[in-house]
Structure formats: C-alpha cells, structure tokens
Amino acid sequence: MGIMTGPAQAAEDPQAFLLGLIERVRNALPPVFVERVLVVERRRTLSDRVSGRPGAITRISLLGRQETLTLGYEPGPHWAGEAELVYRGATVVSRPLSLGDWLTAFAERVAALESEVAGDAATSSLALQMLGLEPPGSEIRVREAKVDADLRTLPARLRRRLPAEAIAQVGRIGELLVDALDRVEGQGEPEVMVRRTATVYLPDTLRAYLVLPPDWAVRHVLPDGTTPAQTLVAQLGELEAAARRMRDAAAEHDASALLVNGRFLSQRFGLSRLDLP
C-alpha cells in the first residue's frame, strides 16, 4: 500500500492521510518493531468513548536513537512537522519541517528501517540497537531448542564486533560444546552443565563486552593494566579450557570430572560480567 505524500492529499482527508502513514510503517516492519518505533496519539471525545471509536489522530512519531520525526495535526488542516534531537529520552533541539520535507524524511527513515530489518530476528534486533531501543549484543543468544545451530553460527554473527582472536576462541568453544553435548545427551546433570555453558555463560560473557563502546573497549586501560578486549580474550580462554575439559571428560565417560568442571564454571561465570570498574 502506498502512502499519500502530497499536501493536496493531506488537505483532502487528513485522517485517511495519517492512517496511510501508519499503515506504511506497519506494512514495512515486523509488528514487534512497529511497537518500538511508532507512537500514535489520538483525541477521543465523549462520543468516541461511548461508541467505542479510537478517536482522531492528532500526532504520530517515528522514534530514533538520536532523532525523532513527529507530525502533529489540528483541524484546518494545520500540520506541524518536527525533527527532534533526543538525548536520553529528552528532546534537546526541535527543528520545524514543512509537510513536504517531513514526508521526505519519513519515507527515507521507513525505507532505511525496512532494509535493516529484512531477514531474521537477529537482524531486526541489530536495527533496534541502532535506534537505541535494545542494548548492544541483545541478539547474541544461544537458544535451548537450537543449541548446535546457534553455536555454529555464533562466530559469523560476531564478525567485526570482537577482536579476531576472540572470534576464533568462540568458534573453538562452540565446537567443543557441540561435541560434548552429543556425548552427554540424556545424562541428567552433566547435560545440564554443558547446556548452561552454551546458553548462559558464553552468551552472557559476549554480551557484557558488546555493551561497551567499541573504541573504549579496545583502547581503555583498566586498573590491572589490561584493556576490556584483552579481558574478554582472557575470559574466553578460561571458557575454552573449561569446555575442553568437559568434552574430554564426556569422551572418557567421566561424569564426576565433568560435574566438577561445571561447578567451576558456575562459580566463575555465574554472573558473566567483565570485571570492569
């Protein structure tokens, strides 16, 4: 469905025009994404409430990490287009836009978002992060139902977001855990320990790093003389060593050794945070 983009159409039927803008967003983006980026304000009269009508649209907003596009409407019609610079949820600067300029900015923003969310849920999450609506790294997860597949695709999903050494470590950890899982399937607590490492300890460690500003993570020196990137590599080294011990214990059918190693991981990575000040 195309949207009406000219002032003439907006003047002819303002409510249909606004509904067209809303439908353009809804047709372009997944519902969960629309809920995060589109705000619609209405004015409901007593008659609207009695009859169950939603009321007249008075304002629509398309949210962004740094800029929010808003279009207000009053009968006349009178249009008030704005581009608002937003910082931590508060409007810092508001720039008025003509209806034509606002519609151009709106169409460009929707097209950009549509391109960003094309694909799977992980891509949609990245787009939400770009807008500041989800924390960085929130798409990095290993699902219980798809442990093997998620572990194998993890290095590709982390490309250009971690140091090369860390990505290689993640790949090796994934291979070790997949191998261990095949060997401990149906063995109760040993299987739980391996799965917890795959679905909790590893993703949590990665997300703790990804929330950091990229330049800061590479260059900032911590009190112990290391950078956050070096700390991540060290923590992944511990995880890799532990995953290797679990795989070896599973291969040797040594359940007691596997459980001891699992408890070590629980103590070491139970909170799964980089030790940053």
**pLDDT exceeds 60 at position 274:** no
**Does residue 5 or residue 238 have the better pLDDT?**
238
Question: In three state form, how does the secondary structure of the chain look?
Answer: CCCCCCHHHHHHCHHHHHHHHHHHHHHHCCHHHHHHHEEEEEECCHHHHHHCCCCEEEEEEECCCCEEEEEEEECCCEEEEEEEEEECCEEEEEEEECHHHHHHHHHHHHHHHHHHHCCCHHHHHHHHHHCCCCCCCCCCCCCHHHHHHHHHHHHHHCCCCCCHHHHHHHHHHHHHHHHHHHHHCCCCHHHHHHHHHHHHHHHHHHHHHHCCCHHHHHHCCCCCCCCHHHHHHHHHHHHHHHHHHHHHHHHCCCHHHHHHHHHHHHHHHCCCCCCCC
Query: What pLDDT does residue 270 have?
Result: 59
Query: What pLDDT does residue 275 have?
Result: 46
**pLDDT exceeds 90 at position 132:** no
Query: How many residues would you count in the chain?
Result: 277
Measured between alpha carbons, how far is 239 from 256 in angstroms, rounded to an integer?
A: 19
- Residues ≥6 apart with Cβ < 8 Å to 8: none
Q: What is the pLDDT of residues 153-179, one digit of tens each?
A: 888 888 888 899 999 999 999 999 999
Average pLDDT over residues 51-61: 92
Query: What pLDDT does residue 13 have?
Result: 87
Q: What is the pLDDT of residues 180-227, one digit of tens each?
A: 988 888 878 888 888 988 998 899 899 888 878 888 888 888 888 889
Residue 105: name the closest of 64, 74, 146 by CA: 64
Query: What pLDDT does residue 254 have?
Result: 63
Average pLDDT over residues 225-241: 92
The whole-angstrom distance between residue 187's C-alpha and the CA centroid of its chain comes to 34
Query: What pLDDT does residue 1 have?
Result: 39
Query: What pLDDT does residue 126 have?
Result: 54
**Does residue 268 or residue 131 have the better pLDDT?**
268
Model confidence band, residue 249 (pLDDT cutoffs 50, 70, 90): confident
Q: What is the pLDDT of residues 20-55, one digit of tens each?
A: 999 988 888 878 778 888 999 999 898 989 888 999
Query: What pLDDT does residue 89 have?
Result: 60
Measured between alpha carbons, how far is 82 from 170 in angstroms, rounded to an integer?
A: 45
Query: What pLDDT does residue 240 have?
Result: 94
- Residues ≥6 apart with Cβ < 8 Å to 88: none
Residue type present at position 67? E
Domain ranges of the chain: 7-130, 144-269
Measured between alpha carbons, how far is 202 from 207 in angstroms, rounded to an integer?
A: 9
Q: What is the pLDDT of residues 71-110, one digit of tens each?
A: 999 988 789 999 988 665 666 778 899 998 999 899 888 8
